[in-house]
């Protein structure tokens, strides 16, 4: 990382956000940039992958290397980037519909693999960009354009699912707590393995139930409550709390082998560095290809 100091403006583009006034995405956008500044990164030292939806629009507003992935396909894209260059941090931005709906299968299996990426999910419990349809995290009986009489299936529990799938760092933040969310993103990027951070992100236009006031009356900090993040059973118990009080903070944290560091072929040099040798003709690709025929 460079010794030259950056500011949050260095990680902003000339484009102004198009989110609704008061949207929780603004807070996550600010917390992310603050985290990158505090970590000492320059824009060219960070790779970001964005999903589809309101959260994915952040691709236009963050100055860094960025990929706007297909719907639900942020995580396999991020894994490919880490395999190509595991010296560069990869931050993934997605939404609850994008990540837990269309991308639900990738969510489970990326947690199993444990690549060294940071996955931040904007969880507003609706499909916001397509004007407020119910999402996988919408509350039971919640009403919307797609469910005018109310949702009849149980909402997904992303935290419990992440812990069960082998998640090594499982946390939750609240966009109404920017200092706390900033620190969570810092901790997630510094964690060696897949850091998953689900964020309560109120949609001020289409979700009139799960509002800032709703969360402020319910959230409490796990660390302040004395939660032991190394205790998997305790983490499950906290993840299952969904009525009354809602915990935020680190639910579970335990380092385990990282996916891309398990390949001896890229242990000493990143794939990007090795590709230069192929271009210079130092490796005979024809011979290598013949070995697999």
Taking the C-alpha atoms of residue 113 and residue 257, their distance in angstroms, rounded to an integer, is: 9
Two tokens, residue 40: 């000492």
More confident residue, 271 or 127: 127
The residue whose two tokens read 């998997």 is: 232
Q: CA 79 to CA 194: how far, in whole Å?
A: 10
Kind plus residue range of the DSSP H or E element containing 35? helix 25-38
Range of lowest pLDDT (85-99, 199-213, 229-243, 271-285)? 271-285
Quote the pLDDT of residue 119: 98
Architecture (CATH level 2) of domain 8-258? 3-Layer(aba) Sandwich (3.40)
**Is the CB of residue 57 less than 8 Å from the CB of residue 94?**
no
Query: Residue 269: which pLDDT band, with cuts at 50, 70 and 90?
Result: confident
Share of the chain above pLDDT 90, in %: 84
Judge whether residue 245 has pLDDT over 80: yes
Question: Which whole number is the average pLDDT over 146-159?
Answer: 93
Domain ranges for the chain: 8-258, 263-293
99 near 74, Cβ under 8 Å?
yes
Q: Tens digit of pLDDT for each residue in 165-181?
A: 999 999 999 999 999 99
pLDDT above 60: residue 14: yes
The stretch 11-24 carries a mean pLDDT of: 96
In the predicted structure, residue 185 carries a pLDDT above the cut 80: yes
Tens of pLDDT, residue by residue over 188-220, are 999 999 999 999 999 999 999 999 999 999 999
- Rounded (5°) CA angle 246-113-251: 20
In this structure, is the dihedral angle defined by the CA atoms of residues 122, 128, 130 and 136, taken in order, positive or negative? Answer: positive
pLDDT at 143 over 80: yes
**Does position 255 have pLDDT exceeding 60, yes or no?**
yes
Distance CA 275, CA 155 (A): 45
DSSP state of 84: H
For the chain, the farthest-separated pair of C-alpha atoms sits apart, in whole angstroms, at 65
**pLDDT tens digit string along 55-85?**
999 999 999 999 999 999 999 999 999 999 9
Encoded tokens for 26: 């603004």
Residue 277, pLDDT > 70, answer no
Type and span of the H or E element at 50: strand 47-50
Query: Cα–Cα distance between 160 and 222 in angstroms, integer?
Result: 15
Main-chain phi, psi angles of 193, to 5 degrees: 140, -170
Q: What is the pTM of this model?
A: 0.92
Distances (CA, A) of 29 to 50, 78, 107, 177: 12, 19, 22, 13
Average pLDDT, whole number, for the chain? Answer: 93
Buried b (16+ CB within 10 A) or exposed e, 66-100: bbbbeebbbbbbbbebbbbbbebbbbbbbbbbbbb
Cβ-contact 124, 101 below 8 angstroms: no
The sign of the CA dihedral 217, 31, 163, 234 is negative
């Amino acid at each position: 990382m460079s010794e030259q100091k950056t500011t949050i403006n260095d990680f902003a583009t000339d484009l102004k956000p198009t989110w609704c006034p008061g949207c929780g995405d603004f807070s996550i956008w600010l917390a992310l940039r603050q985290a990158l500044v505090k970590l000492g990164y320059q824009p060219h030292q960070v790779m970001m992958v964005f999903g589809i939806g309101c959260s994915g629009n952040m691709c236009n507003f963050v100055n860094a290397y960025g990929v706007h992935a297909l719907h639900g396909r942020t995580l396999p894209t991020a894994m490919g980037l880490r395999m190509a260059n595991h010296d560069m941090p990869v931050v993934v931005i997605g939404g609850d519909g994008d990540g837990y709906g269309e991308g639900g299968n990738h969510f489970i299996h990326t947690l199993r693999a444990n690549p060294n990426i940071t996955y931040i999910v904007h969880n507003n419990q609706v499909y916001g960009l397509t004007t407020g349809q119910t999402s996988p995290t919408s509350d039971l009986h919640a009403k919307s354009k797609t469910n005018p009489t109310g949702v009849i299936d149980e909402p997904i529990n992303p935290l419990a699912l992440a812990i069960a799938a082998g998640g090594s760092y499982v946390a939750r933040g609240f966009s109404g707590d920017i200092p706390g969310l900033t620190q969570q993103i810092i901790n997630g990027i510094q964690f060696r393995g897949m850091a998953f951070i689900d964020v309560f992100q109120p949609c001020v236009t289409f979700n009139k139930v799960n509002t800032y006031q709703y969360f402020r009356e319910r959230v409490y900090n796990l660390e302040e409550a004395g939660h032991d993040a190394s205790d998997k059973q305790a983490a499950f118990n906290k993840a299952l709390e969904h009525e009354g009080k809602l915990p935020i903070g680190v639910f579970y944290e335990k380092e385990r082998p990282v996916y891309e560091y398990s390949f001896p072929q890229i242990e000493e040099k990143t794939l990007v560095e090795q590709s230069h040798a192929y271009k210079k003709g130092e490796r005979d690709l024809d011979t290598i290809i013949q070995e697999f025929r």
